[in-house]
């Protein structure tokens, strides 16, 4: 469900995007790397769509339970164009599988989401994590949480990674291109869901917890709090994907 087209010039990409709705009934833009001139494309099979859509539904269910769903804008797979600053990875374009952000803060056309979910079936982890880095960098850190979920048919398991950013200082004497205090991606949580029988699933490392402040860009009010997708919810998610 994953392809890479090489030697795609910025002009070729612009022409493709201008006619995108006519040419892509069964394909989805993953990311365009204008530096490497590579276009990453997803052919969304059932397993790919289930991996991100079912997880996003579990997320939305928690917003409904807290009655804050009206404060959330679903952006789906809308294309976003990087804020190029001349550094590698800063430009190009990307399209998440499921995305969204708070209203009114991210209600404007072209606003960046605070949450991005990207799924992979045949797509390697290396590419998924490169996409994650692009979302943080290209949005100038407007994206706050990236969830990566990948299916391994051989092991019959789903692996879910939660990525955020944190400030990392430069180590004394270290040689790096990253300035002291710059934001860098960090994996906050990894969850593995394994199919143990035809109807049961084992969820390792507990519930998925998503920061309310990062998602909604404010402190929670009374009755609000971090979005928790419980072990039971994750088991239901896995059953729906399988």
Q: What is the pLDDT of residues 184-206, one digit of tens each?
A: 999 999 999 999 988 899 999 99
pLDDT exceeds cutoff 60 at 167:
yes
The crossing angle, in degrees rounded to 10, of helices 231-241 and 46-65 is: 150
pLDDT exceeds cutoff 50 at 91:
yes
In this prediction the pTM is 0.87
pLDDT exceeds cutoff 90 at 170:
no
pLDDT exceeds cutoff 50 at 9:
yes
Identify the CA nearest to 16 among candidates 36, 49, 44, 41: 41
pLDDT on residue 55: 98
State the average pLDDT over residues 60-75.
97
State the average pLDDT over residues 13-32.
72
Question: pLDDT per residue over 30-53, tens digit each?
Answer: 888 888 888 888 887 888 899 999
pLDDT on residue 27: 75
More confident residue, 171 or 72: 72
Q: Which of 43-47, 73-77, 100-104 has the lowest mean pLDDT?
A: 43-47
Q: Residue 117, exposed/middle/buried by CB under 10 A (0-12, 13-18, 19+)?
A: buried
pLDDT exceeds cutoff 50 at 87:
no
Per-residue tokens: 171:
């180590």
pLDDT band for position 176 (50/70/90)? very low
Q: Which residue has the tokens 């365009």?
A: 32
pLDDT band for position 11 (50/70/90)? confident
C-alpha–C-alpha distance, residues 209 and 213, integer Å: 12
Question: pLDDT per residue over 109-124, tens digit each?
Answer: 999 999 999 999 888 8
More confident residue, 125 or 31: 125
- Whether residue 60 contacts residue 69, with contact meaning beta carbons closer than 8 Å, is answered with yes
Domains and CATH numbers, the chain: 46-241 (3.90.1570)
């Amino acid at each position: 469900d994953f392809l890479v087209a090489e030697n795609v010039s910025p002009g070729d990409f612009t022409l493709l995007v201008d006619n995108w709705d006519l040419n892509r009934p069964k394909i989805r833009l993953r990311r365009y790397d204008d530096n490497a001139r590579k276009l990453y494309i997803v052919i969304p099979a059932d397993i790919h769509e289930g991996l991100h859509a079912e997880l996003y539904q579990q997320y939305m269910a928690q917003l409904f339970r807290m009655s804050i769903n009206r404060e959330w804008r679903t952006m789906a797979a809308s294309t976003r164009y990087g804020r190029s600053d001349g550094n590698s990875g800063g430009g190009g374009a990307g399209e998440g599988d499921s995305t969204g952000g708070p209203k009114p803060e991210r209600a404007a056309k072209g606003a960046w989401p605070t949450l991005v979910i990207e799924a992979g079936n045949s797509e390697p982890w290396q590419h998924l994590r490169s996409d994650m880095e692009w979302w943080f960098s290209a949005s100038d850190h407007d994206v706050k949480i990236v969830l990566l979920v990948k299916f391994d048919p051989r092991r019959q398991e789903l692996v879910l990674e939660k990525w955020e950013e944190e400030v990392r200082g430069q180590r004394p004497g270290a040689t790096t291109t990253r300035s002291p205090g710059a934001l860098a991606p960090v994996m906050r949580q990894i969850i593995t869901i394994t199919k143990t029988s035809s109807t049961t699933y084992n969820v390792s490392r507990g519930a998925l917890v998503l920061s309310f402040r990062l998602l909604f860009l404010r402190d929670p009010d009374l009755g609000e709090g971090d979005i928790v997708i419980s072990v039971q919810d994750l088991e239901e998610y896995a059953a729906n994907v399988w």
